[in-house]
Structure 1
């Protein structure tokens, strides 16, 4: 069931959203990149009458909105909304029309069978949902619906966007998380998300942050003005004047290999291998300004955690997650090279050397540090992702995760519970994000802490199951949607699904 607020009526491939207004009427807007829905209204004030009696919305399903009296609103296609019924009248702020058979409210053509065809499309999509436990089924169906409606055409290619509420573009690491869920039922579509990004890779190897309707976001000169203003207010240090590359954390090879594990395709591995190598090399050639062998994030957006207090001291930082991802990427490049019969390029040796360098330069004997920030975040624990740490270091990180700083009924806060900067409701400053939990679960298993990974999986699934929706992030104290979090968020849907599928197998 859709509530027409957090879960609008929309369709796969459509930019149109039908939502409930505060006065009980419906309004329709179009989802566009970096544009508020209030600025893209198609029509507003929609109500349906029979005679003088208003026919209220009885329920909203993925395939249709049902009004009292048998009137139905359905998508005939991505651009066409159709009202069907008899002896009714639709009234909206911009006009009115009789509904006796079928009336095309938005779009063109005559589509009397729109509700039946929409139902068949959705039945076919839900039939592909992998099996999950019964207690997780309702939320899994919501997640599977979320992934479908977040698929839109961007520059001629079907792209899974994070949300039609404000995130209408194909974001870099979001796409990797999306692909991890899609691989279970539509591996070709999962591969397409990777291809879109790699097809927009720069010559120097950088994979852009966003592919959107008007081009790509690959450096600060491409940022919308609203982003520049927000960053100037939030990020410490002097403003950045020169053009700075903008990307996202290096998880491409990791995602490619996860797709391959579920649906092997050596042709795809051969297609992307050289581009993955170029991306890996970019980080050390262009994103290591002090030349110490440890890459840095040159811009807050490149970390994916742009509102984290890590950035309160300036626009550049080297939290422990980045080089952990890069070390794991070396191992995944080795896996791919072996699968396609290419020379190993000493990828395993490079993985271990980078891990050793992280330990020697950034391990204090107690924790991994971020040179410019003392705040404690779960990024301190992310070197577990490598699966290559010395046993005593890995044991300390696993123990820290299970400590009161990071562990609770709903772990893991994005700033430690006992850090003075912890705010359970502020983006990246305390709420739980599913991608952080998922990456930690992945790293725990790789590092040999299966029981902790299982417990974190259990608590994460319970939080989402009981929290009311698939949000951008959750308040770790209440388990509810954090105040400013977006609803219907793609990677939350995708990663919940992957964890639920794994837990149900």
Structure 2
């Protein structure tokens, strides 16, 4: 595997450090940077611009990257990088050195620490570094001006005799603690390689034709995990270490699902992390990072569906774990009943497109709030899962309560939203007539709970090649809609969550062949075009962020289970 740093950053499991290509926005020049991805995606996190130097001058280079080693290859030398542990980077060069130019802001500074090491205090990014040469020397240009350094340029320079350079870049927050380093760079590489190979061996298997996709998906999911810190009460798989440097409260479900068979403890952590910070009202935040949780919107309640799926795929969740989730999932469900039904008609509503996860879907084109059948479908499944949990926990009265609520909401959903041949959404009690969104087909996840005529109509609509079905999968807005856009976010492109949910619904509906066909389309598209945030529905081209974890996780799930569906 040799991935392109312009699309996929170089990082490792547990680390908040990432080496990425940046285009030159936000007061930086174009180039490759060591970044600190703490604090969310409002900034690019750029710390040091990285360059290869020979004889004191920067020289051109190309990048060669796999899961455990990144190389900057110049014409007559190279510099390599590895992450032996989550909080430091080992650098090694032959016939070349490394220049690190700090993106300097107020108070940022560097000073000689002791022996050969220099400390760099990056006030602007709330992090410090210790730079230490192991072979060769370290030269700093860090002129002091009043209360900070006007610039910080650190050069790791090869030894004159061996023409080799070896050094360490260590992050720390408070007080620096010296450590023992691997004797050689090769030993450092071997250390991280063993760790990654274990992860890869425990990544879901897929058909051999999609093996290159699996290799990429495995690296992306492994490298996007960050360690427990601040608001993050558990290890968390970020959506990306490019720009989407947070976790979102439905994305985490798909990542948990992909982990549950081979890594159930990490899967449980992914699933539970949002419930650890749940508001007393029952609401869970829209997204989180190590520094804060964001509450201005939420994400759809797919958690019951996801948990039910996970319980079918592992026997490693103890009764204690089921007790741990029962009350939080109950509060999340009743929150919709208490706080998202402003007209008291027993139909829950979205207060923004972002609440649905389909941010700019045409369902929200005419205004908010919006009542949409997908929300009812998710809650029905969540209530059924709560009934299942209550049964396992011997809470018989609770079990019956959730069953009754699920049955009533199913009846209410059909009565309110089904208009003879289709589901509709409503704004202020009136049908939303703009566009033709795939969102209104999401009740297919209810499978055979739906009456035959409704299920058949939904399946026929999904198979209509003049609407959503393309050679690459299901567009999120009909390709015949006047609102369709090739790169229109939820107005056209193919996404992992919509694909996964609908394929699972088709399987539950008995549509095995069609589910397999869509799974093949998605896995082929992702293998050929990368694990992108979303894809052009007509060409399959990867769009936006090209190193997305829920895309990787859904690819792995579909390739492992839905390509060949067992009855």
Same fold (TM over 0.5): yes
> CA offsets, 1:108-146, max 9 Å, x none?
764433222122222222121232211111101211111
Q: CA deviation at 1:431?
A: 0.6
- In structure 2, C-alpha distance between the alignment counterparts of 1:497 and 1:180, rounded to whole Å: 10
2:331 matched residue in structure 1: 278
Worse overlay, 166-175 or 94-103: 94-103
Worse overlay, 190-199 or 173-182: 190-199
Q: Report 1:360-371 matches (<5 A).
A: 360-371=415-426
Worse overlay, 207-216 or 404-413: 207-216
Aligned 8 A contact 1:2 1:9 in 2: no
> CA offsets, 1:254-291, max 9 Å, x none?
22222222222233112211221121111111101111
> CA offsets, 1:27-51, max 9 Å, x none?
222213344554x322114114489
Q: What SS class does the counterpart of residue 281 from structure 1 fall into?
A: helix
Q: Report 1:229-268 matches (<5 A).
A: 246-264=297-315, 265=317, 266-268=319-321
TM-score (norm 1): 0.88
Q: CA deviation at 1:486?
A: 1.4
1:457 matched residue in structure 2: 519
- In structure 1, C-alpha distance between the alignment counterparts of 2:169 and 2:283, rounded to whole Å: 44
- In structure 1, C-alpha distance between the alignment counterparts of 2:314 and 2:55, rounded to whole Å: 53
2:267 matched residue in structure 1: 190
1:42 matched residue in structure 2: 47
1:498 matched residue in structure 2: 557
- In structure 1, C-alpha distance between the alignment counterparts of 2:198 and 2:556, rounded to whole Å: 18
Q: Report 1:341-356 matches (<5 A).
A: 341-343=394-396, 344-356=399-411
Q: CA deviation at 1:70?
A: 6.5
Q: What SS class does the counterpart of residue 97 from structure 1 fall into?
A: strand
135, 138, 151: which is aligned to 2:225? 151
Say whether 1:401 aligns with 2:452: no
Q: CA deviation at 1:71?
A: 4.3
- In structure 2, C-alpha distance between the alignment counterparts of 1:247 and 1:294, rounded to whole Å: 17
Q: Which runs of 5+ in 2 are unaligned?
A: 24-28, 102-152, 159-163, 172-177
TM-score (norm 2): 0.79
Going from structure 1 to structure 2, the CA distance change for 1:118 and 1:50 (only over 3 Å counts) comes to farther
1:104 matched residue in structure 2: 168
Going from structure 1 to structure 2, the CA distance change for 1:48 and 1:121 (only over 3 Å counts) comes to farther
Worse overlay, 278-287 or 16-25: 16-25
Q: CA deviation at 1:89?
A: 2.4
Q: Report 1:283-298 matches (<5 A).
A: 283-298=336-351
450, 454, 471: which is aligned to 1:389? 450
Q: CA deviation at 1:202?
A: 1.2
Calculate the aligned-residue CA RMSD, in Å. 2.3
Aligned 8 A contact 2:33 2:46 in 1: yes
Q: What SS class does the counterpart of residue 91 from structure 1 fall into?
A: strand
Aligned 8 A contact 1:29 1:37 in 2: no
2:113 matched residue in structure 1: none
Q: Report 1:325-344 matches (<5 A).
A: 325-343=378-396, 344=399
- In structure 1, C-alpha distance between the alignment counterparts of 2:271 and 2:496, rounded to whole Å: 20
Q: CA deviation at 1:395?
A: 0.6
Going from structure 1 to structure 2, the CA distance change for 1:313 and 1:267 (only over 3 Å counts) comes to same
- In structure 2, C-alpha distance between the alignment counterparts of 1:14 and 1:422, rounded to whole Å: 39
Aligned 8 A contact 2:52 2:72 in 1: no
2:437 matched residue in structure 1: 377
Going from structure 1 to structure 2, the CA distance change for 1:385 and 1:130 (only over 3 Å counts) comes to closer
Name whichever structure is richer in helix by fraction: 1
Q: Report 1:165-184 matches (<5 A).
A: 165-184=242-261
1:28 matched residue in structure 2: 34
- In structure 1, C-alpha distance between the alignment counterparts of 2:502 and 2:404, rounded to whole Å: 23
Q: Which runs of 5+ in 1 are unaligned?
A: 221-245
Aligned 8 A contact 1:25 1:47 in 2: no
